[in-house]
Amino acid sequence: MTPATPVIAEDAAPAPRMLGLRTVLIILALIEACWGLSDAPTLFGDMSHIGAGIGGGLVKAHLAAHPVLAIAAIVFAAMGRVRHAIIALGTIIIMAWLSDMPSVVAHGLEFKGAFSAVETTARVIAFPLVAACAIAYAAHNEHLRRAAFLVAVPTLFNAVLLAGFAVSVMTHGF
């Protein structure tokens, strides 16, 4: 007779108690949820400026899915499902990139100023690659802290841009 070996299901129990990582993911997801919910009223108003076709569909899908994915990331992180939260945040980044692509295809990459070149390069090239790496790490349950850092970069970049814009408006006015 062979002794019975216990079967351990990997996804049956939440991730180890990584409280710091979970907290960081919740904060990032809260920021993304606020941004997603602030854009959501666009779905219920006049969307003629968004356009039709696949480009308009991608923008509308992003507007609809952004708050849902952000709230899902909050719930996953709170439950200890760090991998799932990272994948949800990475999906937000990929969807934002996809919603920018129709404009890039129609108008090309715009490098009008020095900072605009950095922002365009980040949004079109760097952020989707960062998100894909983070999703791959999380899907393989490897380097979760690195994956969380990777999904944090676009959110923090956008927060710095927003803060810089707010300071500029307060200093110089509109």
- Tens of pLDDT, residues 143-161: 999 999 999 999 999 999 8
Query: Residue 9: inside a domain, yes or no?
Result: no
Check pLDDT > 90 for residue 100. no
Query: Residue 13: inside a domain, yes or no?
Result: no
Share of the chain above pLDDT 70, in %: 84
Looking at residue 153, its pLDDT comes to 95
Q: Which residues are CB-neighbours of 139 under 8 A, at least 6 positions away?
A: 83, 87
Question: Which pTM was predicted?
Answer: 0.81
Check pLDDT > 60 for residue 4. no
Query: Residue 46: inside a domain, yes or no?
Result: no
Query: Residue 33: inside a domain, yes or no?
Result: yes
Looking at residue 3, its pLDDT comes to 57
Query: Residue 12: inside a domain, yes or no?
Result: no
* Of 12 and 60, more confident: 60
Check pLDDT > 60 for residue 69. yes
* Domain count along the chain: 1
Query: Residue 101: inside a domain, yes or no?
Result: yes
Work out the burial of residue 136: count CB atoms within 10 Å of its CB; fewer than 13 is exposed, 13-18 middle, 19 or more buried: middle
Query: Residue 136: inside a domain, yes or no?
Result: yes
The mean per-residue pLDDT over the stretch 39-64 comes to 77
Query: Residue 55: inside a domain, yes or no?
Result: yes
Range of the domain at 93: 19-40+51-172
Q: For residues 139 and 37, give the distance between their C-alpha atoms in angstroms, rounded to a whole number.
A: 27
Check pLDDT > 60 for residue 66. yes
